[in-house]
Structure 1
Amino acid sequence: MTGSDPRQDPPLTFDRRTGRLDGATLRERVAALAITAGARLTEPFAHRGFSLGCRILGTALAPRETIVQLDDDARFAFPFGDPYWSVLLDRRYVYEIELARFLETVVDVDYTFVDCGANYGLWSVLTTSRRFGAHRAIAIEASSRNAEKLRRNAALNGDRFTVRHQAIGATAGGVARLSGRKHEAFTIAPSEAGDFCEEVPVISLDSLIDDGTLEPAGRFIVKLDVEGVEIEALTGGTRLLAADTVILAEEHGADRSHGVTRWALAQPGCREFVLDPKTGRFEEVREPAFLDHIKTNHAVGYNVFVTRSAFWTERLRAASAGP
């Protein structure tokens, strides 16, 4: 699945609403069925082994682009058989259910979505769609290869969100060294693995206010998926956090000290919420140890909602209460 541009042939199209797959050869249809089955079989195990299966299938497939119809006005493209995004071929699967549930409760709110570590831009596509309220979105991605896919998805959806090829750090200015082997796990965190990819310009969350991208009087939902530099990114966003902002930051399952939460709860006036699978509600995190029963898989990340805003605190509480 490497080499030539997967858009050299007409794309496959998959409609998640109906399950219809168009433009596929017999071999690709069989592969799609295998991918769907693999997604369902591995779901109870946080999809462990799914990416390996996709890579094995990929050796027998020609490069093709898949365009998934997520909704009437939301389309999302990725290479057919991609080890990370192919899970979307399983129509039952909900990607990052905690964010989906929260966004569905704030459709009426006038906010800007800031997608940091956007990858191919799924959430930028969705938050700008009618179903989620057609909000303004800014997608920021450190990898130039991912940013190309991100621009493709912006174009597929009428260029309704802005794309920026930058990394998020503690301070704006200079460049960072990006490394990684998987497109979903590129990082600017120090690495000794010898898998350097490129140098990328660095901005901070607060610099989005300084350069006029964000107006301090606005409301913001910030998704922070920056692979190991969450605390640095949060440190560079203290002024944005002081505004009407809620930040979704990743707590990695392997971090048993719950470092992001410790940082958040140490900030004056800061509160944190997390979707608790035991209650099915957004629960307030009052001490880091609360996450011991949430973070049960050391191989995946868990989104926590960090805010100093009374408005967003009430909306999280309302989301917890349910219908």
Structure 2
Amino acid sequence: MSASDPRPVTPLTFDRRTGRLDGATLKERLAAIAIRAGARLTEPFAHRGFSLGCRILGPALDPRETLVQLNDDARFAFPFGDPYWSVLLDRSYVYEIELERFLMNVVDVDYTFVDCGANYGLWSVLATSRPYGAHPAIAIEASSRNAEKLRRNAALNGNRFTVRHQAIGATAGGVARLSGHKHEAFTIAGADDAAFCEEVPVVSLDSLIDDGTLDPSGRFIVKLDVEGVEIDALKGGQRLLDADSVILAEEHGSDRSHGVTRWVLAQPGCREFVLDPRTGRFEEVRDAAFLDHIKTNHAVGYNVFVTKSAFWTERLLATPPAR
């Protein structure tokens, strides 16, 4: 960009607490209005079609960073018009409400947050913020491009969480082939040569104990967003599961056999919980068929909470119902 180029280079700033957008041109303000309207219109359909709308807008937008104030101690940056994260411009939107509700109910607990498949690091930013209890966190991301954005968000928040550019697998060592076309859906499961991105070193959850990253005497909340390798990741975290941990794993709506849950329920001592929209509470999943009424959208993922810990079981069941 030349010195005479009038396009703005400073970030747009958006405060979700007040709805205030600063630093935007008229064109960008109109685009932000369109993005918010698209988020509201597509919300009843799990935002299906929202990303397409953002991609249509994309060519008309100058490359620009959006810096969102999430709360009084959390800032999160992403490219303006990003098809995945721009939904945050809708102040009424709550990202992964089941995790939001759980974390806000365990603010008082001394735990470490392990963010696997962290993408740009939204949950690492939030979990380490004061309103969420200012917990230590480790963010692990397989994509080098995403890891660059992840480091940016760590820096915006005082580098209060650790960033690692690695993939999560069943065993540590070697490399995995990462593929995908969308930054939120990169995967090491069945890499497609046509969409091949890079090779990335592999770690397991238990190797985080072996290398001293995690102290097995501590408490942990582990989020797995690993796009198809959830079971491998859980297999690689048996000692972490035996510790005082709760692991969030994704059950994709398209898997009508509920494969992750079937694997979990076959493991001695493992219990699984899910936020049930009928009761507004975390309910125990005793049979995989229980998820038939939970996974109503085939296009999205659903977080299930896996633990062997009596402490985390009690806290899940004690989470107040949604108002």
1:189-208 correspondence runs (5 A) = 189-192=189-192, 194-208=194-208
Q: Look up the equivalent residue of 1:64 and give its one-letter code.
A: R
- Matches of 1:322 and 1:32 in 2, distance apart? 30
Cα 1:152/1:309, change in 2 over 3 Å: same
* Aligned counterpart, 2:242: 242
Q: Look up the equivalent residue of 1:93 and give its one-letter code.
A: Y
For structure 2, which runs of at least 5 residues remain unmatched after alignment?
Answer: 1-6
Q: Look up the equivalent residue of 1:108 and give its one-letter code.
A: D
Say whether the 8 Å CA contact 1:127–1:135 is kept in structure 2.
yes
Say whether the 8 Å CA contact 2:270–2:307 is kept in structure 1.
yes
Report the alpha carbon displacement of residue 191 of structure 1 after superposing the two structures with TM: 3.0
* Aligned counterpart, 1:4: none
Report the alpha carbon displacement of residue 8 of structure 1 after superposing the two structures with TM: 8.2
Cα 1:294/1:62, change in 2 over 3 Å: same
The sequence identity of aligned pairs, in percent, is 85
* Aligned counterpart, 1:138: 138
- Matches of 1:8 and 1:226 in 2, distance apart? 36
Cα 1:63/1:322, change in 2 over 3 Å: closer
Say whether the 8 Å CA contact 1:283–1:320 is kept in structure 2.
no
* Aligned counterpart, 2:315: 315
- Matches of 2:116 and 2:88 in 1, distance apart? 21
Matched, 1:76 2:106: no
* Aligned counterpart, 1:3: none
Say whether the 8 Å CA contact 2:279–2:321 is kept in structure 1.
no
- Matches of 1:11 and 1:313 in 2, distance apart? 42
The size of the alignment, in residue pairs, is 317
- Matches of 1:8 and 1:199 in 2, distance apart? 35
> Per-residue CA shift, 1:157-187, capped at 9, x if unaligned?
0000000000000000000000000000000
* Aligned counterpart, 2:3: none
* Aligned counterpart, 1:103: 103
* Aligned counterpart, 1:32: 32
* Aligned counterpart, 2:293: 293
Say whether the 8 Å CA contact 1:270–1:306 is kept in structure 2.
yes
- Matches of 1:149 and 1:57 in 2, distance apart? 22
Matched, 1:175 2:175: yes
For structure 1, which runs of at least 5 residues remain unmatched after alignment?
Answer: 1-6
Cα 1:237/1:8, change in 2 over 3 Å: farther
The SS at the match of 2:264 is: helix
> Per-residue CA shift, 1:196-226, capped at 9, x if unaligned?
0000000000000000000000000000000
Say whether the 8 Å CA contact 2:271–2:306 is kept in structure 1.
yes
Q: Which runs of 4+ in 1 moved over 3 A?
A: 320-323
The SS at the match of 1:48 is: coil
* Aligned counterpart, 2:47: 47
- Matches of 2:296 and 2:315 in 1, distance apart? 27
* Aligned counterpart, 2:13: 13
- Matches of 1:8 and 1:245 in 2, distance apart? 46
The SS at the match of 1:209 is: helix
- Matches of 2:18 and 2:249 in 1, distance apart? 33
**CA RMSD between the two structures:** 1.2
* Aligned counterpart, 2:186: 186
Say whether the 8 Å CA contact 2:253–2:301 is kept in structure 1.
yes
Matched, 1:210 2:210: yes
> Per-residue CA shift, 1:225-277, capped at 9, x if unaligned?
00000000000001100000000000000001101101111111110000011
Cα 1:93/1:321, change in 2 over 3 Å: closer
Say whether the 8 Å CA contact 2:177–2:191 is kept in structure 1.
no
Q: Look up the equivalent residue of 2:250 and give its one-letter code.
A: E
Under a length normalisation based on structure 2, what TM-score does the superposition of the two structures give? Answer: 0.97
1:254-293 correspondence runs (5 A) = 254-293=254-293
Say whether the 8 Å CA contact 1:250–1:304 is kept in structure 2.
yes
Under a length normalisation based on structure 1, what TM-score does the superposition of the two structures give? Answer: 0.97
The SS at the match of 2:60 is: coil
Say whether the 8 Å CA contact 1:180–1:195 is kept in structure 2.
yes
- Matches of 1:299 and 1:108 in 2, distance apart? 35
Say whether the 8 Å CA contact 2:38–2:50 is kept in structure 1.
yes
> Per-residue CA shift, 1:113-133, capped at 9, x if unaligned?
000000000000000000000
The SS at the match of 2:194 is: coil
Cα 1:165/1:322, change in 2 over 3 Å: same
Report the alpha carbon displacement of residue 193 of structure 1 after superposing the two structures with TM: 5.7
> Per-residue CA shift, 1:74-128, capped at 9, x if unaligned?
0000000000000000000000000000000000000000000000000000000
